[in-house]
Amino acid sequence: MSDQPLTAAAIISFTERLEDASATFYEALAKAFPEHARTFEGYARDCGKHKVQVQRTYQETITDALEAGYSFEGLRLADYAVATDLPGGANLSDALRMALALEDTAIAYYTRVAEACESLLATIPRAFSRVAKRRTSRREELRDLAA
């Protein structure tokens, strides 16, 4: 997979999967740690919003005149694989460690794809940057929680 070129369609699909997996992960955390359910449920809801925002920006911006098939040279999706299955018996500290790793990867992904298509795909990179910023804020909250 890593050697295949990445079209905009492929990037959008990967983004959808990343946000879906993140949402499922935070929903599991909300169930496992009811004392923090509100926070984790909020994160899961935000993942849905991120997905919709990126999808909508892509669908509203994509035209045949943009370099949709050629904007993500050198990017390897394998670099952004995430672990989102919470192991049985994991405590809050384990879960937060996983969450932080997930956010690190997601932030790196969104930052990299925004850079890759910055000059070629008009408003799409801005949508990626917005999500990177939101997930950076989330990472700060998770760090506070873990402290």
Partner 1 sequence: MAILEEPIKRPLELQNYIGGEWVDSEGDKVDVVNPATMKTIARVPISTADEFDEAVQAAREAYHEWRRTPPLARARCLFRLRDLFEENFEELSRIQTMEHGKTIDESRGETRRGIEMCEVATGIPSLMMGENLEDIASGIDEYLIRQPLGVFGIIGPYNFPFMVPLWFAPFAVATGNCIVVKPSSEDPISQVKIAELAEEAGIPEGVWNIVHGGRTVVSAMLDHPGIKGVCFVGSTPVGRDVVYKRCGETGKRVISQCGAKNYALVMPDADIPRTVAACMTSFYGNAGQRCLANANLMMVGEGMTEAQLDGFYKEVADAFVDAASRITMGYGLDEAVQMGPLRDPGKAQRVVGYIATGLQEGARLRLDGREFSLVGDYPKDAFVGPTVFENVTPDMAIAKEEIFGPVACLMKARNMDEAIDVIHGNPFGNAASIFTNSGRWAREFQYRVECGNIGINIGIVAPMAFFPFSGMKDSFFGVLHGQGKEAIRFFTESKVVIQRWF
User: Residue 107 — φ and ψ, nearest 5°?
Assistant: -65, -45
Q: Round to the nearest angstrom and report the end-to-end CA distance of the chain.
A: 37
Q: Which span (8-16, 25-33, 46-54, 95-103) binds partner 1, by CB under 8 A?
A: 8-16
| Greatest Cα pair distance in the chain | 52
Round to whole Å and give the CA distance between 124 and 103: 21
Q: Could you say which DSSP state residue 118 is in? A: T
Examine residue 65 and tell whether it contacts partner 1 (CB under 8 A).
yes
Which of the ranges 34-42, 54-62, 81-89, 135-143 carries the binding residues for partner 1, by CB under 8 A?
Answer: 54-62
Asked whether position 75 contacts partner 1 by CB under 8 A, the answer is: no
120 binds partner 1 (CB under 8 A): yes
Is 1 an interacting residue with respect to partner 1 (CB under 8 A)?
yes
**Judged by CB under 8 A, does residue 123 bind partner 1?**
no
CB of 54 closer than 8 Å to CB of 64: no
Quote the least distance from Cβ 87 to partner 1, whole Å.
28
**Looking at beta carbons only, is 66 or 92 nearer to partner 1?**
66
Which one among 2, 35, 38, 59 touches partner 1, defined by CB under 8 A?
Answer: 59
Q: Which amino acid is at 100?
A: L
- Taking the CA atoms of residue 111, residue 115, residue 116 and residue 122 in that order, the dihedral angle to the nearest 10 degrees is 110
5 makes contact with partner 1 (CB under 8 A) = yes
Give the residues lining the site for partner 1 (CB under 8 A): 1, 4-10, 13, 58-71, 73, 119-120
